[in-house]
Amino acid sequence: MKKILTGGIVTFLLLALLGSCMGGKDSSKKNSNSSSEPSSSLQSSDHSSSHSDKHVAKKQAKATKKHVQSDNELADLNYTSGAQAFTYVNNDHANLKTTDWKYNHVIYSNLDNLNRTSAGNTAYLESRNVANDSLRSTQDVKPTGWHQKFINREAIINRGHEIAYSLSKGISVNGNYEPRLQSGDQNNLKNLFTQTAFSNQKVQTIYESKVRDALRAGKNVIYQVTPVFKGSDLMARGVHLQALSTDNTLDFNVYLYNVQPGVQFNYADGTSKIDHNINVPTPAGAPSFSEHRNYNGEHYHRHHYVRDALIAGAAHHYIKRHYQRKYERHYYYHPYHRHFYGYHRRHHLF
């Protein structure tokens, strides 16, 4: 009896001990699982946060890169009808150094192997470089991609100056300042490119005025202009302008699209065709030729190439009218009456 009782007690104790061990393992396993779950959740959260930060950083890098474009990248930009005719580069801050201004001169780069002004020109200007517009003369240089047309008696392309006539008084074709030269740069192959009338007269003029105003205020300015060509195109897709005064009060960096309202260009050779679907809004501050005044209220002269075309057209009109009067009508003027009256026809008509 004692043996049976003793055996039962031993069996009970063994079962209790075994159950305790199994419970400890389960508890340990549960604790292990419960402690590992937050860790896994934390790792997942860290991974998600890291991925999100990388995504944001990547987007910011893209946004920054968008404003730091080389001329090759600018050439890949395509103009969309209705958009502004210019875009800012490097957040509108020049990639120039004030310490580079040493003395008054212009660096006219050599033409490339296609005779284009693709390398751009850099001017180191001061107040004495502001030129008198009345000394302009007729230009006959034909830059690459030159195919002139007139729409409503208005030229669609200009001989666009990189360093404007009005900013280059006294600068020789070699880029040196010579006091005897009173006009600005003209007929310089290294300083001209085929530019639309709109880009030249409505957009680039705004930025040239900013440089001119800074010079008149006695500031020294570094001004760089680079026509931007794509591949072997003969007509520039746009023009890259940037300027910086030595006191940092003037600072801009922009890219102007070489576009014209109502005209589509083939930049490969410069030919064009009318396309009324191309709409280019006039930027704020653009001069109005109808009023013959710019946005500062100062008298504004048309560029001489447009002026010459208008003069030629007007001359033809007045010459024709003169001969019509001479051969068709003979007017009498009564000395006592302040008006014309009567006429008789000639037998030979114009």
Residue 37 half-sphere exposure, CB side, CA atoms within 13 Å?
Answer: 6
**What does the DSSP 8-state code read for residue 104?**
S
Domain ranges of the chain: 71-301, 312-345
Condensed to tens digits (0 to 9), the pLDDT of residues 73-113 reads: 899 999 999 999 999 999 999 999 999 999 999 999 999 99
Rounded CA separation 63/229 (Å): 24
* Residue 237 main-chain phi, psi, to 5 deg: -75, -25
Please say whether the beta carbons of 264 and 278 come within 8 A. Answer: yes
pLDDT, position 120 = 95
pLDDT tens-digit readout, 37-85: 433 333 444 444 444 444 434 433 333 334 545 667 899 999 999 999 9
| pLDDT per position as a tens digit, 213-224 | 999 999 999 999
Going by the DSSP 8-state scheme, the letter that residue 66 receives in this structure is H
Give the predicted TM-score (pTM) of the model: 0.66
pLDDT-based confidence at residue 132 (cuts at 50, 70, 90) = confident
The CATH number corresponding to 71-301 among 3.30.465.10, 3.40.50.2030, 3.40.570.10, 2.40.30.60 equals: 3.40.570.10
Q: How many alpha carbons lie under 13 Å from residue 238 in its C-beta half-sphere?
A: 23
